[in-house]
Structure 1
Amino acid sequence: MQSLKRYWKTYILGGALLLVLFIMAETGFQVRAFAQERYADLQNFSKVLNLIQQYYVEEVNTKKLVYGAIKGMLRELDPHTNFMPPEMFKDFETETSGEFGGLGIEISIQNGILTIISPIEDAPAWEAGIKAGDKVVAIDGTTTKGMSLAEASVMMRGKKGSKIVLRVVRDNEDKPRDITVVRGSVKIKSVKYTDLGDGFAYVRITSFIENTSKDLQKVVETHIKNNKNMSGLLIDMRRNPGGLLDQAIKVSDMFLKQGTIVSTIGRNKNEKEVATASKKGQYTNFPIVILVNEYTASASEIVSGALQDNKRALIVGQRTFGKGSVQSVIKLGDGSGLKLTVARYYTPNGVSIQAEGIHPDIEIEDVDPDAFSKAIVKSVTTREGDIAGHLKGDREKAAEKLDVKEGAEEGALAWWKDVGSKKDEKLSPRDKLFKADYQAYQAFSYLKAWDTLKALTR
């Protein structure tokens, strides 16, 4: 009996060993096959490079050829994967510190066309009249067709004080226009604040750079100190092209007690990285409304998604841009750099931001103040109820009993009558903001009505 057990034990162990050896042999074969295939491809590249070096009609710059080959390879991938030669990579590193030279714009490739995602406020491009959504068809007379983001970036950079001409196509315009921009130093102020009165605050976050979370905390602390409390916070992230992921996480963490902020999933679906709230959120007890639009992208979408899914904020405005991919930046040996897409962002509810964006809880269409003002002035007519001392109607009497203003309008008409028709010299900073910005006015009305709207965030 003992010998029989030993026999079966030996048989099982032998079979397991053969299985392991078979798997190792199969895996080894696959690895060798992959290596041989890659070697053959690299051998072809090496042969072509060698032939060019030996027989091309003129002397060639080998490094230039290699850089060109790398750029060509990356064109087969998404537009956010870029190779940056040493000088360009050096410029890239300075951009996230908050001060750099150039035009001050965020660009992307949309449907093969170089497109302005957002001009940075107060930067040269902003001052020259470049707008989000402008399609750049030529730079200094050179067509942008087939141009990569990295190549466009190189052409747009130059000495401070030098000029560049961008030919742009703008929606609802028949002909392209040439806009001259004077290059200059771009110092980003990523957090801008306006006191809205009655304890309410407006904060515009223009981008996420290395000091954004600290600057936002200072603004909130100052407001609470001056007003003794925070009745509500309106965060404006329209035209915010994004920036540093760690800053988006820190900003989200400030307003959350707990929960997931964002998760990233790369090629291996089992390797999931999750950023969660630290449970140290200082500002968790006042209402927040976040205003977004179609040019709200990347890091700003992460903050919007985190606070929306965790039922911490009401998102209003328009569906966001949908830039939900993660790039890693790798510095290479010669000082050049590779910006490589390695993963996708997912909101706490597991929804991919990529190409989908963040859907607002309440949509608010934009209104051109000048166009609306001209249209409303033409349509204004005096009615019986507008005449002083008029005989009151039944509805007007009922409204007085309920302490409701008769004729209280909603939407754009209410905005125009409240602040849109007033003279600038008579306006407070709050009203100056709202006169030029219907969406912000509407977003603030939702913030003030937070208790009524709580159900929308559940």
Structure 2
Amino acid sequence: MLRKGILPIVFGIIIAFAGTRLVACAGPIWADQDEQRFLDAYRGYVDPNATENQLDRADSLYVEALQVLRETYVFDVDTTKFVDDSIADLPKLDLKDKSPENVVGEVLDHSLHDLDPHSAYMSEDMFKRLQESTEGSFAGVGIVIAQDEDKQIRIVSPIDDTPAARAGLQPNDRITSIDDHEMKGQPISEAVRLMRGRVGEPVRLGILRKDKNFDVVIRRAKIEVPSVTAAIIDHDIPYIRVSRFDANTLEQTRDYLKELTKDVANPRGIIVDLRRNPGGLLDSAADIADQFLSKGLIVATEGRGERKMRTYEADRSSFFAGVPMVILLDRGSASAAELMAAALRENGRGIIIGERSFGKGSMQRIMPLSGGGGVKITTGYYTTPEDHIVQGNGVVPDIEVKLKDAEEFDREIDLAHALPPRRRDPRKTITSVDGDKCAAPIEIERLGKDGVKAEDQAPNPQTDEIAPDAADQAKKDDTPHDEVLECAVGYFNNGMLAQYRSQVEPLLRAGL
């Protein structure tokens, strides 16, 4: 069992996930002089028919939110300035729903986003969607999104085996419209609301990719996708891919690791693929790292004033002990995925091949408010076993594999109001290689039903009009090579990267 050390915290934890905890808020509170200035000001911008009860609920929402901010935000907050900014936002609002709760919620959302990209107001409906996503089940298209500096909705990563992935959506695509609703300047919550709907109903997304605009029509599906897939490469290299961390990921990982252990008697190496993994439940990520570690710190949390709050330590007998390990990362690997990769490397378990990761290493808590809705507040940083911080820095690979025509990609540090980085890992990339030069053909035997991936059997909304025979042939002719994976396999045999094993592994064993 993973051991967790918990120092006293103000709020009881109800549910914890990567970067976010849902906690209970305090009891009744009263507005101070600054908060009263906002309560007086916003009344001039709401529906004149609003009832006293509606106004009281909205008042409570704002006052409680500021109390939470004062007590838990990662840095001291100038609440006078926060209130001034909230009042300044009121004339800029363009809302059809001018109920007190909606007006206050919108202002709170803007003001919290001005602190950092991840602090936000959440409506009651958003709470429900949040719980669905961490349970591994929701109805939508299957993408992780963020808002970039110029207020565009950006795709961080499509989730494997979902309508979005099968439609060919890519990291860094911008969503310009959803069912003809222009999205520039709209909050992430609105984008999520518009993309959710009934199973089978279509949704039209306007996409900007580099300088090309096009529309994609996707049919919504219940997103209950496996978060883990596995394979055997070249008969003796176990491969396991974790696409996100949810409540079911640990069980799936264990099942595949047991199967791989049984099927591969003398493994040359093992590959753990965390590319395009946007994160998820931190407990899940720490538990999966623990499958490969018998001892050592996995991750810790650091709050205001760099005070350590919580630690996760390994105590399991590890799978594939002593077998060389490669962890694959890319620019879409974020949050819990970055922390797991860093934990494995800093405990001397494996090297990292691929790209520098996204760099999201801050921790959020979700706090319900009695006035309705709730707030997501950034309360700290995550730290690695060697006390480095991923936030703003990302995780640097030991061996970088560069892909041809890879476009520029905004990482965490590029987002407006991103938290400043701290204590960067001093490691540097040993070498950088071109993917097309180190790639070589590999043989992959996929585990699971009939050895076929889910997306190979599912209809593609982009090719539904193509006759089945033609679609099958097109798929065979246009199957892309996974150059990074092929290069990583070469690390274990006589491939181009094998020459670096004598440089990398002594450093790994020495913890450097």
TM-score by length of 2: 0.66
The amino acid of 2:187's aligned partner reads: S
Residue 42 of structure 1: which of 35, 43, 58 is its match? 35
Q: Which has the higher contact order (CA 8 A, sep 6+)?
A: 2
Partner of 1:123: 162
Say if 1:229 and 1:153 are closer, same or farther in 2 by CA, change over 3 A.
same
The amino acid of 2:333's aligned partner reads: T
Partner of 2:473: none
Q: Which runs of 5+ in 2 are unaligned?
A: 1-28, 51-95, 407-433, 444-450, 454-475
Moved more, 119-128 or 294-303: 119-128
Aligned-partner SS, 1:176? strand
Say if 1:132 and 1:55 are closer, same or farther in 2 by CA, change over 3 A.
closer
Q: Residue by residue, what CA displacement relative to the aligned partner does 1:234-290 show, whole Å, maximum 9, x if unpaired?
A: 111111111000011111111123222112212232344322222544443211101
The answer on 1:76 being equivalent to 2:114 is yes
Distance of 1:49 and 1:337 partners within structure 2? 19
The amino acid of 1:105's aligned partner reads: I
- CA apart distance, 1:444: 1.1
Distance of 1:411 and 1:49 partners within structure 2? 56
The answer on 1:63 being equivalent to 2:108 is no
Residue 226 of structure 2: which of 160, 176, 189 is its match? 189
Moved more, 47-56 or 142-151: 47-56
Contact 1:83 1:150 (C-alpha < 8 Å) held by counterparts:
no
Partner of 1:142: 181
The answer on 1:156 being equivalent to 2:179 is no
The amino acid of 1:319's aligned partner reads: R
Q: Residue by residue, what CA displacement relative to the aligned partner does 1:154-189 show, whole Å, maximum 9, x if unpaired?
A: 122122222222222213xx3322222221111121
Distance of 1:53 and 1:115 partners within structure 2? 31
Moved more, 53-62 or 231-240: 53-62
Contact 1:317 1:363 (C-alpha < 8 Å) held by counterparts:
yes
The amino acid of 2:197's aligned partner reads: G
Distance of 1:54 and 1:61 partners within structure 2? 6
- CA apart distance, 1:82: 2.3
Moved more, 334-343 or 262-271: 334-343
Residue 98 of structure 1: which of 136, 139, 146 is its match? 136
The amino acid of 2:272's aligned partner reads: I
- RMSD, aligned α-carbons: 3.1
Say if 1:59 and 1:106 are closer, same or farther in 2 by CA, change over 3 A.
closer
Contact 1:82 1:150 (C-alpha < 8 Å) held by counterparts:
no
- CA apart distance, 1:153: 1.3
The answer on 1:412 being equivalent to 2:436 is yes
Q: Residue by residue, what CA displacement relative to the aligned partner does 1:38-74 show, whole Å, maximum 9, x if unpaired?
A: 7122211221244456858999523223322332332
Question: Which of 1 and 2 has greater Rg?
Answer: 1
Say if 1:204 and 1:339 are closer, same or farther in 2 by CA, change over 3 A.
same
The answer on 1:246 being equivalent to 2:283 is yes
Residue 220 of structure 1: which of 257, 281, 288 is its match? 257
Moved more, 180-189 or 161-170: 161-170
Residue 301 of structure 2: which of 219, 240, 264 is its match? 264
Say if 1:115 and 1:52 are closer, same or farther in 2 by CA, change over 3 A.
closer
Partner of 1:11: none
The answer on 1:305 being equivalent to 2:342 is yes
Distance of 2:284 and 2:400 partners within structure 1? 27
Contact 1:198 1:231 (C-alpha < 8 Å) held by counterparts:
no
The answer on 1:288 being equivalent to 2:311 is no
Moved more, 314-323 or 283-292: 283-292
Partner of 2:485: 440
Say if 1:344 and 1:411 are closer, same or farther in 2 by CA, change over 3 A.
closer
TM-score by length of 1: 0.74
Aligned-partner SS, 1:44? helix
Partner of 1:349: 386
Say if 1:315 and 1:60 are closer, same or farther in 2 by CA, change over 3 A.
closer
Contact 1:213 1:250 (C-alpha < 8 Å) held by counterparts:
yes
Distance of 2:390 and 2:132 partners within structure 1? 27
- CA apart distance, 1:94: 1.0
Say if 1:434 and 1:356 are closer, same or farther in 2 by CA, change over 3 A.
farther
The answer on 1:180 being equivalent to 2:217 is yes
Say if 1:136 and 1:54 are closer, same or farther in 2 by CA, change over 3 A.
closer
The amino acid of 1:44's aligned partner reads: R
Distance of 1:53 and 1:90 partners within structure 2? 26
Contact 2:438 2:487 (C-alpha < 8 Å) held by counterparts:
no
Distance of 2:492 and 2:241 partners within structure 1? 15
Distance of 2:378 and 2:267 partners within structure 1? 39
The amino acid of 1:145's aligned partner reads: K
Aligned-partner SS, 2:279? coil
Say if 1:150 and 1:447 are closer, same or farther in 2 by CA, change over 3 A.
farther
The amino acid of 1:440's aligned partner reads: L
Say if 1:196 and 1:270 are closer, same or farther in 2 by CA, change over 3 A.
same
The amino acid of 2:490's aligned partner reads: S
The amino acid of 1:308's aligned partner reads: R
Aligned-partner SS, 2:38? helix
Partner of 2:418: none
Partner of 1:423: none
Distance of 2:372 and 2:258 partners within structure 1? 41
Contact 2:302 2:310 (C-alpha < 8 Å) held by counterparts:
yes
Say if 1:150 and 1:435 are closer, same or farther in 2 by CA, change over 3 A.
closer
The amino acid of 2:198's aligned partner reads: K
The amino acid of 1:45's aligned partner reads: F
Greater per-residue helix proportion = 1
Contact 1:292 1:317 (C-alpha < 8 Å) held by counterparts:
yes
Distance of 2:132 and 2:402 partners within structure 1? 36
Say if 1:335 and 1:97 are closer, same or farther in 2 by CA, change over 3 A.
farther
Aligned-partner SS, 1:320? coil
- CA apart distance, 1:435: 6.5
Contact 2:439 2:483 (C-alpha < 8 Å) held by counterparts:
yes
